[in-house]
Amino acid sequence: MEKRYKVKVNGSLEFEFTQKQIDALDSNEISPSQYHILNGPRSFKGEIVQSNFLKKQYSARINSNIYEVKISNDLDLLIEEMGLSLGTAAIVNDIKAPMPGLILDVSIKQGDEVKEGDYLLVLEAMKMENTLTAPRDGVVKSVTVKKGETVDKNQLLIEME
């Protein structure tokens, strides 16, 4: 299966490319951030002005115009086709047990303010300790479990506001 990419420009224009189409471009690297690109009879001077490699977002100057570019690869496209999301667009309010287990520690209480990534509780499952963290910044609305309690898969553990 050939690699494919979806490119979103300025938040609205979408293009899809295959690896074959990208390889067919005639490009020369002028410097680590500047390129000369030939696409058929058309010539373009390109420069990467800003880049966020982890988010696959770039600001590119093409022939004096600046474009905001977001690139999605095969995995990103598969996740999108499955209706899932890795982004923070969906707000998570309920934290549920990912598997049955035993609550070893609860680090928060109702009314606590938490930041994304803060430790909330420790769940022991299959002789392994799993630390559940806050999926976003927020306030703890309620904690429905306590230390020493056993929980089932998908049981509500914490509600956030």
The 10s digit of each residue's pLDDT in 81-119 is: 776 655 544 577 899 998 999 999 999 999 999 998 899
With the CA atoms of 91, 123, 110 and 148 taken in that order, what torsion angle do they form, in degrees rounded to the nearest 10? Answer: 160
Instruction: Name the average pLDDT for the chain.
Output: 88
Q: What is the CATH number of the domain that holds 99?
A: 2.40.50.100
Amino acid at 60: A
Residues 6+ apart with CB under 8 A from 116: 133, 134, 135, 136, 137
Has residue 20 got a pLDDT over 50? yes
Number of domains in the chain: 2
Question: Pick the residue with more confidence: 80 or 122?
Answer: 122
The pLDDT of residue 85: 57
**Rounded Cα–Cα distance for residues 97 and 126 (Å):** 14
Tell me, yes or no, whether 73 and 125 share the same domain. no
Domain closes at, from 81, 104, 127:
81
Work out the average pLDDT over 132-143.
91
The pLDDT of residue 106: 95
| Contact in structure between 145 and 106 (CB atoms under 8 Å) | yes
pTM surpassing 0.75?
no
| Vertex 56 angle, CA 72 and 31, to 5° | 120
Q: Which of 93, 111, 109, 106 is nearest to 149 (CA)?
A: 106
Domain closes at, from 81, 114, 141:
81
What are the backbone dihedrals phi and psi of residue 147, each rounded to the nearest 5 degrees, phi first?
Answer: -55, 135
The pLDDT of residue 76: 82
What are the backbone dihedrals phi and psi of residue 112, each rounded to the nearest 5 degrees, phi first?
Answer: -65, 140
Q: Which parts of the chain fold into alpha helices (H)?
A: 19-24, 74-81
Has residue 127 got a pLDDT over 60? yes
Tell me, yes or no, whether 40 and 67 share the same domain. yes
The pLDDT of residue 75: 84
The reply to whether 86 falls in a domain is: no
The pLDDT of residue 150: 96
Q: What is the span of the domain harbouring residue 128?
A: 94-160
By the 10 Å C-beta count (0-12 exposed, 13-18 middle, 19+ buried), 76 is classed as middle
The reply to whether 146 falls in a domain is: yes
Tell me, yes or no, whether 9 and 68 share the same domain. yes
Report the SS3 class of residue 87.
coil
**Rounded Cα–Cα distance for residues 2 and 4 (Å):** 6
Question: Residue 114: beta bridge partners?
Answer: 138
The pLDDT of residue 87: 52
At 45-77, the pLDDT tens digits run: 999 999 888 888 999 999 889 999 999 988 887
Tell me, yes or no, whether 77 and 10 share the same domain. yes
The pLDDT of residue 89: 47
The pLDDT of residue 78: 80
